[in-house]
Amino acid sequence: MVSVDTPVSSQNVYDLQVRSFFSDNYIRLRQAYTRDFIPVDTSCIPSRSTALQWPHLKHLAGKMPALQDCEVGLLIGFDCPSALAPLEVVVGGENEPFSQRTALGWSIIGAANPHVDRQGNQRFVHRVMVKEMPAPLASDVLRVLELDFNEKGPEGKCVSQDDIRFIQLLSENITQKDDGHLEMPLPFKTPCLPVLSNNKRLAIVRLQHLKRRLKRNYQFNNHYKTFMESIISCGDAELAPETNINDGCVWYLPHHGVYHSKKPDKLRVVFDCSAKFCGTSLYDTLLTGPDLINSLIGILLRFRKEAVAIICDIERMFHQFYVSSKHRCYLRFLWWEQGDLESEPKEFQMKVHLFGAASSPGCANFGLK
């Protein structure tokens, strides 16, 4: 079986209503798509004569609508279960068709004629799959972002639907703050905010493990406090406002300290976005976005073109880009004010994109470009 994806221009049609020949009850189709041709062979549509071919279905012949002399004008897919839900079913023997009654009437599923030897016969399967292509904005923005230092091969890069959705989401929601920093949303995979289980007890357990390590290691404790105080004092984190933690729109991030192998005195606190609770992590909910990093081959080639090469480094690059305020509740963490381990830990939330989040490299590179 060969599958060929062919894009077809289409229009959206909303709020169509359909009913059966024998009922005045209408079913609402929330959304449909137009096209010039529907690939359906009308000879395959079961009819009254089909029911008469099978003894266990003969009594349904009078209940089936007559086959109309017209082309098929509408296909109803599985996204409309109210039209397809079986209300009554009549079954036969092994390999015999069955009939089911839905809100649109009776239909027959299975072989149409019991006297046809189907060995060696060809069968054609027509399948229509609907996939909405996003507005041209996302593709245009991605093309513009790739204009600088473009060293793609002739085959180009494959851009997924998730990548296009990522670019479209950030393009439509990126804003500039008064201080010049850019603010972007967390690029969730779902159109609406994900509903997650309350994982605060996981964060508390991880914090207690961290507390024991901080008490054992004075240097680690000192570096950890310094880092946490710096992100709070510079505005990368803030005290979290009170909210309903049971509404599913709050997530707590465990955190731990990591030393750089070449910088033994410099500690970075990493928020564990991949920590799972009830089988889910924040990492799982985020789009990673397209690869917007310049390729190493292009960098090396440009390095050889001129006499002088210039490089620069952006300090705490991910932290230079802020998260939209409505999404910061997914970036909560527990910490002691002033680093006092004997006090009750308070709830903070990050205001910037994190080291450790799946989406941060894509967001930072998008903002930079």
In this prediction, residue 349 carries a pLDDT of 96
Low-confidence ranges of the chain (pLDDT < 70): 1-7, 112-128, 131-140, 142-144, 146-159, 244-248
Cα angle value 181/182/185 (rounded, 5°)? 140
Structure token pair of residue 286 = 């985020």
In this prediction, residue 160 carries a pLDDT of 78
Model pTM score: 0.60
Token look-up 């509903």 returns: 195
In this prediction, residue 154 carries a pLDDT of 45
Give Cα separations from 115 to 54, 111, 188 (angstroms): 10, 10, 55
Chain-centre distance of CA 136, in angstroms?
Answer: 19
| Domains in the chain: ranges and CATH | 12-109 (no CATH), 136-368 (3.10.10.10)
3-state secondary structure of 101: strand
User: What are 11-48's pLDDT values in tens digits?
Assistant: 778 778 888 877 788 888 888 888 877 777 777 788 88
SS3 breakdown of the chain: % helix, strand, coil, rounded to 5? 30, 20, 50
- State the Cα torsion 43-46-48-53 to the nearest 10°: 90
In this prediction, residue 150 carries a pLDDT of 58
